[in-house]
Amino acid sequence: MKDKLKDFVQDHRDEFDSFAPRPDLWQDIAAELQQENSKPMLAVAPEPAQAKVFSLNWNTAFRYAAAVAVLVMVAFTAQYFISNSADQTGSVAATQPVTLDKIAPELRQIETQYVQVIQEKESELKAMGAGDIRFADLDSAYNELKKELYTTPNKEVLLQAMSDNLKMRIALLNQQLEVLENRSKEQTRVRHETTNI
């Protein structure tokens, strides 16, 4: 193909040379250029701002990628722990499908033994006119111990603490009974002394 073009140019060389520019053409072009330079310019376009060149080599690229990976891992880990803690703070029944009888069968025996004594003491106090006895702090502590029984591997310590809680209730009831009995004895003694006078 080059050969055909080359042959064509060679054959018609004389025809190409026949068109020569007129001799005063360059003078006319120079005059026009001088006229344009002497005219005041309307607006000079500001030079375009050069874009900042941000070089990124492989070393810095890996640093940025590692930082992004660490942030993503931290976000997923936080989400995992938050969702697990929300599940654990749910109701006790939802997290404890096993009954207390299977975890600590001796608890039922302890409760029946001490609760029966507590009920007898409370009925004696009511008979003496003491009214209802409430152990709010002991009740809440006992319920907390019961909840911990589901998760603690050392059940003997918890059972002992629960037993001590029930014993403390009995001791408090006994003290109240003694106070009431002493008061009633004192009142009967005072009555006998007043009748003897």
Which tens digit of pLDDT belongs to each residue from 147-159? 887 887 888 888 8
- Residue 161 in 3-state DSSP? helix
Range with lowest mean pLDDT among 77-81, 90-94, 100-104, 171-175:
90-94
Distance (Å, whole) CA 113 – CA 169? 13
Which tens digit of pLDDT belongs to each residue from 82-99? 888 765 655 444 455 567
- Whether the predicted model's global pTM rises above the 0.75 cut: no
Contacts of 177 by beta carbon, 8 Å cutoff, 6+ apart: 121, 124, 125, 128
Distance (Å, whole) CA 157 – CA 153? 10
Residue 6 CB coordination number (10 Å)? 10
- Residue 97 DSSP one-character state: -
- Residue 24 in 3-state DSSP? coil
